């Protein structure tokens, strides 16, 4: 295997740029010498050789004959298509090839993306091949490719049997050859890169590559009849059950990859592959809100969740660490995050791009507590380490169009608090009165809820730090008698969400029902626009309204860049969406939304 160490301090601060390489650039430099394409009977090797350009020699190592290869006067570069499982004879053939590569400058090992699915046997094979080649003077890289497409596939006739939900990653030999050529020409490259290709339904790929003959047409007709009997659906169900015991079977149905380290994440998110993936955190956007990324494989960072201490009041967290992970880590030291949202199964890395907030007064979003961020720019192949007062931080924070990947965050924390809550019900409150309640200077957290738009009553929950000896007492009554101190400033609904998420079955039901029946949106209104909304919302089909206060932060891509805003978190059934959107267009010139809490 290649060196998969995490970025060093020198890497983090490096500003060196690597020239962009595009798939349509020349495949190979013929003047640089011959290229050797070696394989163990893989038909993709011959297709690769045809599209590479320049003098190419193809060697099938399973034949045991290297006579033609030994006549090469110069092997400028070598591309080795490895097998998923290498026998002793395969390894002997590879060992026989090694002496011929002593003057080679560049070697590419074509491996498989199955390693990202937990296929340990294939990972061991890759390590064996790399071990035999890494001692050569050549620069050696590993390219983990998706399913490599050939001109036709033997079983293409079976496409009617395959359910459309079965998807995977497919890369053409042309794109593979272009990436290898680009890595060879680059001044430096990573030891391991993954090239997934577009994520497509198997049904479409098989239909495009079925053999055009009468027999194939007849077999396609038979498969169509079998599909009406749900044979394909049953086979897909069996496949889903078996993949829990054999992760390698996951290659037949791939929609999400979960890298287990930052190095593996970087292997998936380099400049050649970034267009084929969508990097997410806990994946709530897809699972809960129904976001879709056609043609892309979702890469969830949830397993990149290491947290360490970076100072008395600062933690250093990898991008996939969740609010829940951070809360449990800090509890041992008697500390907590400044901002504690109702739902804690959301990644800290997501908070860099999406406003994640509770109802805290000192800091209103998690991003406000980020002291420093380590980012990776795939287009320039460089790391960016930026504190919150540097231009690079402001350029990318809350910027959903940014192509950078968040790798690590430094986050401020505080001593653990316990909270006392004062709840009161107010009838026919005006927008100005609610804004005043949200800005209570003595409270640590304030949240306002309304059960439905037509109701005249709102519930105001004001949380106070239980360590404070000077708690306000409305009408002469203290708050201590309204209940025991709470661990977190969350209501019962927030606690329920976390409990549902802890169980796989209840989590599936919660997300599925919300994704198919509900429509969720969060809006940010300055005080004057909120007054208009509050005055005109009574006839809307809203089933839940939740209000919080967000202070302006001045960041160029922030929805509350120039104004303090009221966050209006809204829930309704999907059939009320059109009516609500029509109301927004008619009433407001500009509508600021939270892209991370918006149903599709």
pTM of the model: 0.86
Residues 6+ apart with CB under 8 A from 501: 343, 345, 507, 510
The average confidence (pLDDT) of the chain is 84
What pLDDT does 582 receive? 95
Residue 150 has pLDDT above 50, yes or no: yes
What pLDDT does 598 receive? 85
The burial of 229, by beta-carbon neighbours within 10 Å (0-12 exposed, 13-18 middle, 19 or more buried), is given as exposed
> For the ranges 250-259, 477-486, 550-559, which has the lowest average pLDDT?
477-486
What pLDDT does 467 receive? 67
Tell me the per-residue pLDDT of 45-95, one tens digit each, with 9 for 90 and over: 888 888 887 788 888 888 665 655 655 667 788 899 998 888 888 888 888
Q: Of 397, 371, 391, whose CA–CA distance to 316 is shortest?
A: 371
Phi (first) and psi of residue 38, to 5 degrees? -115, 145
Distance of CA 362 to the CA centre of its chain: 30
* Distance of alpha carbon 330 from alpha carbon 418, whole angstroms: 14
Q: How confident is the model at residue 141 (pLDDT cuts 50, 70, 90)?
A: very high
Residue 311 has pLDDT above 50, yes or no: yes
Instruction: Give the three-class secondary structure for 518.
Output: strand
Class in CATH terms, 10-252: alpha beta
> For the ranges 133-147, 235-249, 433-447, which has the lowest average pLDDT?
235-249
Domain pair 10-252 / 307-415, same fold: no
What pLDDT does 73 receive? 60
* Distance of alpha carbon 477 from alpha carbon 473, whole angstroms: 5
Q: Of 57, 136, 61, whose CA–CA distance to 92 is shortest?
A: 61
**Residue ranges covered by each domain of the chain:** 10-252, 307-415, 419-469+480-597
Q: How confident is the model at residue 32 (pLDDT cuts 50, 70, 90)?
A: low
The secondary structure of 95-130 as a DSSP string is HHHGGGGTT-SEEEEEEEGGGGGT-HHHHHHHHHHH
Tell me the per-residue pLDDT of 542-555, one tens digit each, with 9 for 90 and over: 999 999 999 888 89
If you average pLDDT over residues 217-238, what whole number do you get? 87
Query: What residues pair up with 106 in beta bridges, in sequence order?
Result: 77, 139
Tell me the per-residue pLDDT of 432-475, one tens digit each, with 9 for 90 and over: 999 999 988 888 888 899 988 999 999 998 888 876 544 554 43
Residues 6+ apart with CB under 8 A from 243: 249, 250, 252, 253
Fold of 307-415: 3.30.465
Count the residues in the chain.
Answer: 600
Residue 36 has pLDDT above 70, yes or no: yes
* Distance of alpha carbon 333 from alpha carbon 176, whole angstroms: 50
If you average pLDDT over residues 578-590, what whole number do you get? 93
């Amino acid at each position: 295997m290649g060196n998969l160490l995490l970025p060093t301090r020198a890497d983090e601060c490096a500003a060196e740029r690597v020239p962009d390489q595009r798939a349509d650039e020349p495949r190979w430099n013929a003047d640089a010498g011959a290229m050797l394409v070696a394989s163990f009977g893989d038909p993709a090797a011959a297709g690769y050789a045809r599209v590479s350009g320049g003098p190419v020699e193809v060697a099938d190592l399973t034949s045991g004959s290297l006579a033609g290869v030994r006549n090469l006067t110069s092997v400028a570069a070598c591309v080795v298509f490895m097998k998923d499982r290498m026998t002793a004879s395969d390894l002997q053939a590879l060992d026989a090839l090694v002496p011929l590569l002593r003057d080679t400058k560049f070697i590419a090992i074509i491996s498989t993306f199955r390693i990202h699915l937990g296929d340990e046997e294939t990972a061991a094979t890759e390590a064996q091949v790399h071990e035999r080649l890494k001692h050569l003077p050549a620069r050696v890289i590993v390219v983990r490719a998706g399913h490599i497409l050939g001109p036709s596939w033997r079983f293409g006739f079976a496409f009617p049997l395959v359910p459309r939900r079965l998807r995977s990653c497919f890369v053409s030999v042309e794109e593979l050859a272009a990436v290898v050529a680009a890595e060879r020409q680059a001044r430096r490259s990573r030891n391991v890169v993954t090239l997934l290709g577009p994520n497509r339904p198997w049904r479409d790929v098989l239909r495009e590559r079925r053999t055009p003959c009468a027999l194939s047409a007849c077999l396609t007709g038979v498969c169509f009849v079998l599909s009406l009997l749900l044979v394909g659906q049953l086979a897909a169900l069996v496949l889903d059950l078996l993949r829990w015991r054999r992760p390698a079977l996951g290659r037949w149905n791939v929609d999400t990859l979960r890298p287990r380290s930052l190095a593996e994440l970087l292997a998936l998110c380099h400049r050649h592959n970034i267009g084929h993936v969508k990097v997410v955190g806990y994946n709530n956007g897809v699972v809960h809100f129904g976001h879709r990324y056609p043609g892309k494989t979702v890469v969830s960072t949830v397993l990149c969740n290491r947290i360490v201490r970076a100072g008395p009041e600062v933690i250093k967290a990898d991008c996939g660490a969740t609010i829940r992970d951070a809360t449990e880590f800090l509890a041992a030291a008697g500390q907590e995050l400044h901002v504690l949202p109702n739902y804690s199964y959301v990644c800290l890395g997501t908070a860099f791009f999406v406003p994640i907030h509770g109802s805290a007064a000192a800091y209103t979003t998690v991003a406000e507590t980020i002291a420093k961020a380590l980012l990776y720019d795939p287009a320039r192949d460089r790391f960016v380490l930026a504190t919150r007062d540097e231009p690079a931080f402001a350029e990318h924070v809350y910027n959903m169009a940014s192509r950078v990947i968040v790798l690590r965050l430094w986050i401020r924390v505080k001593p653990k608090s316990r909270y006392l809550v004062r709840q009161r019900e107010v009838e026919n409150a005006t927008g100005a009165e609610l804004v005043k309640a949200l800005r209570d200077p003595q409270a640590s957290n304030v949240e306002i809820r309304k059960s439905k738009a037509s109701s005249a009553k709102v519930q105001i929950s004001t949380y106070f730090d239980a360590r404070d000896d000077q708690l306000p007492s409305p009408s002469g009554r203290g708050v201590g008698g309204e209940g025991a101190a709470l661990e977190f400033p969350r209501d019962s609904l927030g606690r329920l969400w976390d409990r549902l998420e802890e169980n796989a079955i209840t989590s599936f039901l919660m997300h599925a029902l919300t994704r198919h029946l509900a429509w969720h949106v969060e809006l940010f209104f300055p005080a004057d626009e909120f007054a208009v909304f509050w005055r005109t919302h009574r006839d809307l089909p809203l089933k839940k309204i939740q209000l919080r206060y967000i202070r302006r932060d001045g960041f160029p891509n922030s929805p509350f860049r120039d104004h303090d805003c009221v966050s209006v978190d809204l829930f309704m059934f999907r059939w009320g969406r059109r009516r609500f959107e029509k109301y927004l267009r008619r009433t407001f010139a500009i509508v600021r939304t939270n892209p991370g809490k918006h149903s599709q």
